[in-house]
Structure 1
Amino acid sequence: MEIRRATQEELDLVVELFDGYRTFYNQPYDKEGARKFIYDRMLNNESMIFLAFEEDEAIGFTQLYPTFSSVSMRKSLILNDLYVKTNARRKGVGEALINKAFEYAKEIGAKGVLLETGRENTKAQALYEKMGFTLEDNHFYYFTL
């Protein structure tokens, strides 16, 4: 398995995985919307995307967004997306992608990596806890516009 930063030349590979990720979370299939969203993130350097390959096939990805802590005056990363194709699961791909995210976070001097997942996604929760993530006690609020 190889993990590397996605390039604009690999946009189609990212879009396929990204749309799979979205449909996993019960969002409608929207290849054109996915293409525009990912292209904009790449073009504007707003996220870091890593692809996992098995031979020449892209089998998973993670997308990281920067954020900042005013209290610590340091950068953090939000591991916003993590997805592995169904036929590649249970092979350590997710773990390898998370390790790549940790490596990148250390390279840029980030304070840490934050993520969230659905309460029902217990398989992902088990992986995150195995990787050293801890469940926080903070309350998070969201205002929908």
Structure 2
Amino acid sequence: MVVKEATLEDLEGIAQLFNEYRKFYHQEDHLDGAREYVHARLDKGDSVLFMVKEDNAYLGFTQLYPTFSSISMAKAWILNDLYVHKNARGKGVAEALLEEAKAYALETSAVSIALSTAPDNFPAQRLYEKHGYKRDEQFYHYELGLV
């Protein structure tokens, strides 16, 4: 099992996983759109994608977006996406991705990594808490939908 930062050479494998990830969150199957989106992120460098690969099979990915903490006056990361192919679950793929994200955040002198997950995604909640993530009970999250 290899964990590494994804490049444009990994586009097809990551796009397939990204499409599956979106379907997990009840979005329509749209492989072409997933490919275009992932290509843009990799090409523009406005996110960082880490992936796990084994024997030429793409098993999972996580995507980090940069942000800043005004209070800390420092860089932070948003772990926006984490997905493991259903056939690779239970093999430590998610743990490897979380460890790689943490190492990268430390390497880039970030003060934190933030993430959100669905209220009913109990396996993800247990995983995050196992890795030291704390549920925010100090602030409420709001979002303004524009589409």
Identify the residue that residue 33 of structure 2 maps to in structure 1.
Answer: 33
Q: Following TM superposition, by how much is the alpha carbon of 1:32 offset from its aligned partner in structure 2, in angstroms?
A: 1.0
1:1-145 correspondence runs (5 A): 1-137=1-137, 138-145=139-146
Give the length in aligned residue pairs. Answer: 145
SS in 2 for 1:76: strand
SS in 2 for 1:109: coil
SS in 2 for 1:43: helix
Separation in 2 of the partners of 1:56 and 1:142? 38
Separation in 1 of the partners of 2:13 and 2:23? 16
Q: Deviations over 1:40-65 (max 9, x none)?
A: 11111100001101222110000000
Separation in 1 of the partners of 2:93 and 2:31? 24
Q: Give the alignment's TM-score, normalised by structure 2.
A: 0.96
Give the stretch that moved more between structures: 47-56 or 96-105.
Answer: 47-56
Separation in 2 of the partners of 1:41 and 1:56? 22
- Give unpaired runs (5+ residues) of structure 2: none
Amino acid in structure 2 at the alignment position of 1:93 = V
Q: Deviations over 1:68-119 (max 9, x none)?
A: 0111111111111100011110111101100000000011000011000000
- Give unpaired runs (5+ residues) of structure 1: none
CA RMSD of aligned residues (A): 0.7
SS in 1 for 2:125: helix
